[in-house]
Amino acid sequence: MLWLSTVKFCDQCGKELLVGDNFQERATVLTKLGQISHRNLEYQEAIRYFSEAITLRPTGDAAYTARSIVWEKRGEYRKVIDDLDVVVLLNPQDYVAFRRRGNAYLVLGHYKKAIKNFEKAIQICHQDAISFRRKGLAHFELGDYVEAIHSLTQAITLDPNDPWTYYWRSQTFGTLGQSDASQSDINRHNSLLINKSGLF
Q: pLDDT: is 165 or 22 the higher one?
A: 165
Tell me the average pLDDT across 44-68: 91
Residue 11 has a pLDDT of 53
Contact at 8 Å (CB) between 53 and 70?
no
State the CATH number of the domain containing residue 17.
Answer: 1.25.40.10
pLDDT, tens digit, for every residue of 123-173?
A: 999 999 999 999 999 999 999 999 999 999 999 999 999 999 999 999 999
Calpha distance 174→170 (Å, rounded) = 6
What integer pLDDT is reported at residue 4 of this predicted model? Answer: 42
Structural domains of the chain, count: 2
The Cα–Cα gap between 17 and 90 comes to 27
Instruction: Among 92, 127, 159, identify where a domain stops.
Output: 92
Q: Are residues 5 and 43 located together in one domain of the fold? A: yes
Judgement on whether residues 117 and 52 belong to the same structural domain of the protein: no
> 141 and 82, same structural domain?
no
Are 169 and 123 in the same domain?
yes
Task: Look at residue 198 in the predicted model and tell me its pLDDT.
Answer: 55
With vertex at residue 170, the alpha carbon angle to CA 113 and CA 139, rounded to the nearest 5 degrees, is: 15
Look at residue 14 in the predicted model and tell me its pLDDT: 53
Domain check: are 83 and 115 in the same one? Answer: no
Domain assignment present for residue 122? The answer is yes
Determine, yes or no, domain membership for 102.
no
Residue 103 lies in a domain: no
Range with the poorest average pLDDT among 13-27, 37-51, 184-198: 13-27
**Domain span holding position 39:** 1-92
Higher per-residue pLDDT: 54 or 153: 153
Residue 101 forms part of a structural domain: no
Contact 169, 185 (CB under 8 A): yes
Q: What is the mean pLDDT of residues 176-187?
A: 97
Are 9 and 81 found together in one domain? yes
Q: Are both 185 and 114 inside the same structural domain?
A: yes
- 130's CB contacts (< 8 A; 6+ apart) are 99, 155
Which pLDDT does position 59 carry in this prediction? 85
| 3-state DSSP of the chain | CHHHHHCCECCCCCCECCCCCCHHHHHHHHHHHHHHHHHCCCHHHHHHHHHHHHHHCCCCHHHHHHHHHHHHHCCCHHHHHHHHHHHHHHCCCCHHHHHHHHHHHHHHCCHHHHHHHHHHHHHHCCCCHHHHHHHHHHHHHHCCHHHHHHHHHHHHHHCCCCHHHHHHHHHHHHHCCCHHHHHHHHHHHHHHHHHHHCCC
Overall pTM > 0.75: yes
If asked whether residues 80 and 127 sit together in one domain, one would say: no
Asked whether residue 75 falls in the same domain as residue 156, the answer is no
Tens digit of each residue's pLDDT (9 = 90 or more) over 80-134: 999 999 999 999 999 999 999 999 999 999 999 999 999 999 999 999 999 999 9
